[in-house]
Amino acid sequence: MISRWNRKLWALILAAGMTVSLAACGETDQAAGGASAGTQDGTATQQNQSTGSNTESTVTLAQDARALQIIDDNYRTYYELFVYSFYDSDGDGIGDLQGVLEKLDYLNDGDDTTDTDLGINGIWLMPVMPSTTYHKYDTTDYENIDPQYGTLEDFDALLAACHERGIRVILDLAMNHSSSRHPWFLQATEYLKSLPEGEEPDPAECPYVDYYHFSKEAQSGYAQVNGTDWYYEARFWDGMPDLNLQNEAVRREFEQIADFWLDRGVDGFRLDAVKEYVTGSTEDNVEILSWFADYVHGKAPENYLVCECWTDQNTYAKYYESGVDSMFDFAFADKSGIIANVVNGKASAASYAKNLEAEQTMYAQYNPNYINAPFYTNHDMGRSAGYYAGENSAAQTKMGNALNLLMNGNVFLYYGEELGMKGSGKDENKRAPMYWSKDSSAEGMCKGPADMENFQMKFDSLEEQQKDPGSIYNYVKQVIRIRNQNPAIARGTTAFLEQYSGEQCFALTRSYEDSTLLLLGNTSAETVNVDLKDLTVGQTAAEKLVLLGELYTGEECAERAGTVVTLPAYSILILGKK
């Protein structure tokens, strides 16, 4: 096998005169063991190498040398950022907006000719509005910044710096509920407490009683107003009363809130818990989202909306009918999702590509202009480093991230996943401090949520990983770079090549405008042979395809002998026209 340090561009993948068709994957080389963690690094020089009489020579070329092709649209690579645990600029142990600004070059330095940044071009800021909790999903003021994080001036400075770097910023908007300390709720409950026995509330006297769902019945999902026999809907926690989004006055409030942030330059919103707007009613929830999408897009069509609807795929697909841009693609996420099941060997590699193709029709029937929102983990899920155990766990952690980042649509990466951070169980553990250093007292390190448990990280901190070409960090950075070099990855239509896929490897094409890419992946711990015979990709014969990207998790690199491509364990190739 060729060493991973030799960056290759296959000038000709197949011998001239070959016939077409990729035989089903699955033949393995039993001599090849599981790969250790690793990836490519450095700039290769032009050279020819032979791996034996039956293997044709390859031409080396660093894929990093290929220019990025960044398109200014809503197909991006977003970074989900929890400010509280990211970077502390003032020494109080809590992350803040100034800290995000100071570490912005880590995410994107604004210079496409460098490769020292992660390469993201979108940031989803988890809630930054005033709140009583560390997670800040209980909003007390929708038009301000939580003092723990800074000021509106700090936010404006961060937003301007992001835009200078080509980074779009969306805010987490908890519209399903407010804080129980929000003035709306406080005025409503004070009014209810003042009512004489047996008298019904009058919205003309206190309009805020219609901002929430109050009842004299102790229903499921309701909490009691202290000192009264009134109850209010609070599906998540009694500190987060559910808002009545079917009330026109509430809608006017949120239109004003949207104006406040969009007029400051915010690029859109992540909408929290949309299936609970009216619990149990998809139809009502779609209507509510239609109102908000119409309003936000009416201000500017490029304003972006992505929604959390944590339920089955067939149900959240229906929410696209509302006209929102994206729904988070939960089917592929979490420890029991498609990606983790494939990497763990619980599902075939083919199922990854098959589901990518199938969901396109499912979503497009409700909104032909939908933009998928793939993600692998988020703040409510255990981190992916905990999904895998044993000698291949580092390679599997890398592979899982690649399968997410190579999906089409607007992809999301949770902070610290690029380091293989650990965290599971209680929510606080999933929102641990960004692992800049193993020294918890190092500059900028956060203390994390107060009730977070003590646990050791599985992989090194950024300080070590930046220096290690085989680290998870350098691997994820390389995947993002390949994504940024090839616009078809995010924007293209997927076609599953069933006859070329199997238990251990997948084959698919991704077509966008005049570009069609071929993606080949081995999701197993064994070497896999793929016979590329008679294959045409787009209008290009396979023998004219070149290697546009290669992702390895160990020391071995892909080879070809005649029409047979040999994929090392946990590896992916991206091929296309010159």
- Determine the pLDDT at residue 8: 39
- Determine the pLDDT at residue 39: 35
- What value does the mean pLDDT take over residues 42-53? 29
Taking the C-alpha atoms of residue 94 and residue 92, their distance in angstroms, rounded to an integer, is 6
Q: Residues of CATH 3.20.20.80 domain(s) within the chain? A: 72-176+248-489
- Determine the pLDDT at residue 157: 98
Please tell me the least confidently modeled range out of 9-13, 55-59, 236-240, 465-469. 55-59
Q: What is the pTM of this model?
A: 0.90
pLDDT digits (tens, 9 = 90+) for 181-199: 999 999 999 999 999 988 9
Q: Is the pLDDT of residue 55 over 90?
A: no
Q: Is the pLDDT of residue 37 over 70?
A: no
Most distant pair of Cα atoms in the chain: their distance = 95
Taking the C-alpha atoms of residue 476 and residue 117, their distance in angstroms, rounded to an integer, is 11
Q: Is the pLDDT of residue 44 over 90?
A: no
Q: Is the pLDDT of residue 368 over 90?
A: yes
- What average pLDDT does the structure give for the chain? 89
Q: Is the pLDDT of residue 13 over 50?
A: no
- Determine the pLDDT at residue 560: 79
pLDDT digits (tens, 9 = 90+) for 154-183: 999 999 999 999 999 999 999 999 999 999
Please name the helix (run of DSSP H) or strand (run of DSSP E) that holds residue 194, with its range, or none.
helix 183-194
Query: What count of residues does the chain have?
Result: 578
Q: Which CATH superfamily is domain 72-176+248-489 in?
A: Glycosidases (3.20.20.80)
pLDDT band per the 50, 70, 90 thresholds, residue 64? low
What percentage of the chain has pLDDT greater than the value 90? 84
- Residue in this structure with the two tokens 């008679």, named with its chain if needed: 534
Q: Is the pLDDT of residue 58 over 60?
A: no
Q: Is the pLDDT of residue 34 over 70?
A: no
In this structure, what token pair is assigned to residue 484? 């940024």
pLDDT digits (tens, 9 = 90+) for 121-144: 999 999 999 999 999 999 999 999
How crowded is residue 174: how many other Cβ atoms within 10 Å of its Cβ? 23
Q: Is the pLDDT of residue 536 over 80?
A: yes
Residue 40 DSSP class:
-
Please tell me the least confidently modeled range out of 10-19, 404-413, 421-430. 10-19
- Determine the pLDDT at residue 6: 35
Of 200 and 14, more confident: 200
What percentage of the chain has pLDDT greater than the value 70? 88
In this structure, what token pair is assigned to residue 103? 């570490």
Strand partners, 516: 511
- What value does the mean pLDDT take over residues 318-342? 98
Active-site residues, by number, are 272, 308
- Determine the pLDDT at residue 532: 81
Q: Is the pLDDT of residue 284 over 90?
A: yes
pLDDT band per the 50, 70, 90 thresholds, residue 56? very low
Q: Is the pLDDT of residue 332 over 50?
A: yes
Buried b (16+ CB within 10 A) or exposed e, 38-53: bbbbeebeeeeeebee
pLDDT digits (tens, 9 = 90+) for 546-555: 999 999 999 9
Q: Is the pLDDT of residue 575 over 70?
A: yes
Answer whether 215's CB lies under 8 Å from 206's CB.
no
- What value does the mean pLDDT take over residues 496-513? 95
CA 502 to chain centroid: 26
**Beta strand pairing status for 326-327 and 304-307?**
parallel
pLDDT digits (tens, 9 = 90+) for 423-452: 999 999 999 999 999 999 999 999 999 999
pLDDT band per the 50, 70, 90 thresholds, residue 45? very low
Q: Is the pLDDT of residue 534 over 90?
A: no
Please tell me the least confidently modeled range out of 8-17, 99-108, 387-396, 518-527. 8-17
- Determine the pLDDT at residue 46: 25
Q: Residues of CATH 2.60.40.1180 domain(s) within the chain? A: 493-576
Sign (positive/negative) of CA torsion 443, 418, 108, 573? positive
CA 239 to chain centroid: 28
Which of 381, 360, 380 has its CA nearest to residue 372? Answer: 360
Q: Is the pLDDT of residue 415 over 50?
A: yes
Strand partners, 200: none
The correct CATH number of 493-576 out of 3.40.50.10090, 2.60.40.1180, 3.40.50.2030, 1.10.3720.10 is 2.60.40.1180
Answer whether 4's CB lies under 8 Å from 552's CB.
yes
